[in-house]
């Protein structure tokens, strides 16, 4: 059985049903035996409109934000640690190669690296050169270790600053979460949380970045429209 579609094509009912996602039951064709009805269905004069549900974009929960941030921090920290350690390990390898090359040059000059095998006339020169290369090697390794320690201290300081910044961000977003409802609809726990969070944020506003300060002001303005007011005491 063929039907005329809005494109002027003849198609079987199975094809039409598959295209339009209409359930076709071949055991009960009487359900669609009215040819005129189906032709009108696919006629441009009778467009088939399908309503779609409007999907609302929901804010991520506090746990989702925290879990995402922890994952990002963990991946970034892991990569930073690997790069830092690899850089200093490469530096140590280079120092070891230089030390081995220096000893090889001494061995070629004195035919040995064993002090007891060096002739007495060259023993002082041998000892001086070995002492110099050993001291140079030790100094270079010490410098690398000191730089590594300083670098780790800088990294830890930056991570502490990042954690403080992200804590401010999260507290501001907690206020934004509360702004989703009117103050009159909030529980006493939510009202108490709002007062506690805003009190803490207000005491730290001097430490905000420009973006955080702007975001906080915007959130408070939105909350004010819904009846949320900070204590002025």
What was the pLDDT predicted at 35? 45
230 within a domain of the structure (yes/no): no
Does residue 34 share a domain with residue 66? no
Residues 32, 74: one domain?
no
Burial class of residue 172 in the structure, from the number of CB atoms within 10 Å of its CB (0-12 exposed, 13-18 middle, 19+ buried): buried
pLDDT of residue 21: 44
3 three-state secondary structure:
strand
pLDDT of residue 56: 54
Q: Which domain holds residue 206?
A: 62-225
Residue 77 · residue 159 · CB < 8 Å:
yes
Q: Is residue 99 part of a domain?
A: yes
- Do 87 and 27 have their domain in common? no
- Residue 216 sits in the same domain as residue 131: yes
Q: Does residue 111 fall inside a structural domain?
A: yes
Determine, yes or no, domain membership for 170.
yes
Query: Both 213 and 123 in a single domain?
Result: yes
Assess if residue 50 is contained within a domain: no
Do residues 120 and 22 both lie within one domain? no
Distances from the Cα of 64 to the Cαs of 26, 41, 160, 181, in angstroms?
A: 48, 46, 22, 20
pLDDT at 24: 43
Q: Are residues 93 and 34 in the same domain?
A: no
107 and 214 inside one domain: yes
pLDDT at 141: 96
Q: Which residues pair with 10 in a beta bridge?
A: 4
CA 175 vs CA 60, 62, 132, 162, 207: distances in Å: 13, 11, 65, 20, 18
Instruction: Report the length, in residues, of the chain.
Output: 233
Are residues 137 and 211 located together in one domain of the fold?
A: yes
Are 169 and 202 found together in one domain? yes
| pTM to 2 decimal places | 0.64
Question: Average pLDDT for consecutive 10-residue bins of the chain (233 residues)?
Answer: 44 48 47 46 47 61 91 95 95 96 93 89 92 96 96 96 94 90 90 91 92 93 88 56
Do 83 and 165 sit in the same domain of this protein? Answer: yes
48 part of a folded domain? no
How many independent structural domains does the chain possess? Answer: 2
- Any domain includes 232: no
Question: What is the residue-wise DSSP string for 53-113?
Answer: PPPPPPPPPHHHHHHHHHHHHHHHHHHHHHHHHHHHHHHHHHHHHHHHHHHHHHHHHHS-S
- Domain co-membership, 71 together with 180: yes
Which of 148, 147, 190, 197 is CA-nearest to residue 172?
197
């Amino acid at each position: 059985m063929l039907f005329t579609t809005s494109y002027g094509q003849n198609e079987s009912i199975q094809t039409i049903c598959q295209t339009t996602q209409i359930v076709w039951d071949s055991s009960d064709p009487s359900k669609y035996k009215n040819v005129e009805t189906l032709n009108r269905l696919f006629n441009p004069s009778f467009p088939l409109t399908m309503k779609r549900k409007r999907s609302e974009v929901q804010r991520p929960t506090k746990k989702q934000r925290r879990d995402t941030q922890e994952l990002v921090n963990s991946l970034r920290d892991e990569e930073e640690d690997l790069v830092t350690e690899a850089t200093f390990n490469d530096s140590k390898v280079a120092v070891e190669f230089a030390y081995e090359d220096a000893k090889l040059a001494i061995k070629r000059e004195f035919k040995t690296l064993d002090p007891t095998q060096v002739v007495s006339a060259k023993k002082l020169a041998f000892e001086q050169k070995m002492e110099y290369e050993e001291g140079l090697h030790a100094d270079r390794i010490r410098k690398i270790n000191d730089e590594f320690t300083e670098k780790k201290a800088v990294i830890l300081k930056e991570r502490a600053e990042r954690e403080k910044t992200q804590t401010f961000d999260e507290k501001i977003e907690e206020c934004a979460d509360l702004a989703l409802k009117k103050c009159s609809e909030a529980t006493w726990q939510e009202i108490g949380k709002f007062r506690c969070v805003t009190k803490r944020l207000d005491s730290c506003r001097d430490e905000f970045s420009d973006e955080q300060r702007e975001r906080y002001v915007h959130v408070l303005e939105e909350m004010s429209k819904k009846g949320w007011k900070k204590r002025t005491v």
